Amino acid sequence: MIVSLVYQVTRRLLSAPAVLLRRDTAKDAELLVLRHENAVLRRQLQGPIRYEPANRLWLAALSSLIPRRRWAKVFPITPSTLLAWHRKLVAFRWNYSERRGPGRPPTKVAIKKLVLRLARENSRWGHRRIQGELARLGHPIAASTVWQILHAAGIDPAPRRSGPTWREFLSAQATAVIACDFLHIDTVGLHRLYALVFLEHHTRRLHVAGVTAHPTAAWATQQARNLAISLGMRVDSLRFLIRDRDSKYTDAFDAVFQAEDIEIIKTPVRAPKANAHCERVIGTLRREVLDHMLILGKAHASQVLAEYQRHYNAHRPHRARDQLPPQVHEQPPPIDATVSRRPLRSRVLGGLINEYRYAA
């Protein structure tokens, strides 16, 4: 403020001779500039010329008394430098930074971490949706601030930053999906049998609908009807049936499920991975039972598959369900380690599979 005031006073004093003596004003100003320049050079005979703020003030004030076309000949600096000095003086004159308050406080680190956590756990949420969730939690924050936090972290503030993974997508759809496929069994006499297998994706519950040596479209349709009856009320939660394009799946077969508002999804040709869960349970049946037994005939195959179905649904743990069997919904209470208890073994399929449990 003081420098600006001195600059204004100096210009007013120098403008008075310009009014009284207009003809000699330019010459007198040039002389003053040269004298001032000589004084600066005498102080700095060694090294480059450096202008202090007071020197710049004098040169900027005298420039108003000299025509612009003569500035390059009179002043030891370029016109652009002189104008830059003038702009700095004007900016300093109108600088109100000292009058400003401390400004808006920075965002707390805990809020920033919470914003990044919400963005990471909810890929479809944009910065405005995150702002709304923060407001519900009692953190009033502007949407622009949320945007800046995400941008600084390298996260796209727009919704749907990255689509759900296949694991998330299938987990969300699993409650409404059931799949089916045929399992072939070779008997001890080298006769081939076929079993129609259904699997509920959400619970991993296995259903062996039936076994036959001659699977036909009518037989498959009847097994579908039997399954719909055995499912009972659970059929209401199913919305999709995944099957391949086998000719035994006719319109009558699909109609059994469509009557329950279940949509039929056909897998691509020769794409077993499109029905991966059902293919996996068929592989489990082979590895745990069929590869270790000689099947005598249809009745024997039906008995073996029925007994394994009971074991699979009621006892066998599943990693996809936190080691819970399909028909069990919670883990048993922890066992007191101080009490010595011996688990009891139950043999399944003649000892091919063992089940363990403590006595009640």
Q: Which residues are within 8 A (CB) of 151 and not within 5 positions of it... i.e. 6 or more apart?
A: 157
Tell me: do 93 and 117 sit in the same domain: no
Q: How confident is the model at residue 14 (pLDDT cuts 50, 70, 90)?
A: low
Question: Is residue 217 scored above 60 in pLDDT?
Answer: yes
The pLDDT assigned to 227 comes to 95
Question: Is residue 38 scored above 60 in pLDDT?
Answer: yes
Does 179 fall in a domain? Answer: yes
Check if the beta carbon of residue 139 is closer than 8 Å to that of residue 117. no
pLDDT in tens, 169-183: 667 778 889 999 999
Instruction: Report the phi/psi class of residue 350: left, alpha or beta, with left for phi > 0 and alpha for psi in -120 to 50.
Output: left
The pLDDT assigned to 76 comes to 63
C-alpha 10, offset from chain centre: 64
The pLDDT assigned to 240 comes to 92
Question: Is residue 20 scored above 60 in pLDDT?
Answer: no
Containing H/E element for 276?
A: helix 276-288
Does 207 fall in a domain? Answer: yes
Neighbours of 37 (CB within 10 A): 19
| Listed ranges 63-77, 97-111, 318-332; the one with the highest mean pLDDT | 318-332
Burial of 352 (0-12, 13-18, 19+ CB in 10 A): middle
Question: Is residue 108 scored above 60 in pLDDT?
Answer: yes
Tell me: do 11 and 62 sit in the same domain: yes
More confident residue, 294 or 27: 294
Give me the mean pLDDT over the 122-136 stretch. 82
Give me the mean pLDDT over the 238-256 stretch. 95
- In a 13 Å sphere around the CA of 360, the CA atoms on its Cβ side amount to 0
Complete DSSP assignment for 45-69: -SS-----HHHHHHHHHHGGGS-GG
pLDDT in tens, 300-311: 999 999 999 999
Does 70 fall in a domain? Answer: yes
Tell me: do 57 and 135 sit in the same domain: no
The rounded mean pLDDT for the chain is 82
The pLDDT assigned to 322 comes to 83
Tell me: do 274 and 184 sit in the same domain: yes
Does 163 fall in a domain? Answer: no
Q: How confident is the model at residue 7 (pLDDT cuts 50, 70, 90)?
A: low
Tell me: do 202 and 293 sit in the same domain: yes
Specify the pairing of strand 177-186 against strand 240-243. parallel
Tell me: do 94 and 118 sit in the same domain: no
Does 227 fall in a domain? Answer: yes
Lowest mean pLDDT among 25-39, 42-56, 133-147, 285-299: 42-56
Phi then psi for 191, rounded to 5 degrees? -95, 145
3-state secondary structure of 12: helix
Question: Is residue 21 scored above 60 in pLDDT?
Answer: no
Tell me: do 38 and 113 sit in the same domain: no
More confident residue, 88 or 316: 316
Q: How confident is the model at residue 44 (pLDDT cuts 50, 70, 90)?
A: low
Expressed as residue numbers, the domain containing 137 is 109-152
Does 206 fall in a domain? Answer: yes
Containing H/E element for 177?
A: strand 177-186
Give me the mean pLDDT over the 2-7 stretch. 66
CA-CA distance, 219 to 297, in Å (whole number)?
18
Does 351 fall in a domain? Answer: no
∠ Cα 153 156 159 (to 5°): 135
Give me the mean pLDDT over the 52-65 stretch. 73
Domain count for the chain: 3
Tell me: do 181 and 282 sit in the same domain: yes
CA-CA distance, 149 to 134, in Å (whole number)?
13
Does the model's pTM come out above 0.85? no
Check if the beta carbon of residue 130 is closer than 8 Å to that of residue 118. yes
Question: Is residue 10 scored above 90 in pLDDT?
Answer: no
Give me the mean pLDDT over the 9-37 stretch. 66
More confident residue, 233 or 146: 146
Does 328 fall in a domain? Answer: no
CA-CA distance, 173 to 225, in Å (whole number)?
24
* CATH number of the domain that residue 286 is part of: 3.30.420.10
Tell me: do 287 and 182 sit in the same domain: yes
Containing H/E element for 255?
A: helix 251-258
Tell me: do 113 and 199 sit in the same domain: no
Question: Is residue 186 scored above 90 in pLDDT?
Answer: yes
Give me the mean pLDDT over the 130-149 stretch. 86
The pLDDT assigned to 142 comes to 87
Residue 270 token pair: 């020769």
The pLDDT assigned to 23 comes to 56
Tell me: do 234 and 317 sit in the same domain: yes
Q: What is the dihedral angle through the alpha carbons of 250, 252, 253, 255, rounded to the nearest 10 degrees?
A: 120
Tell me: do 84 and 121 sit in the same domain: no
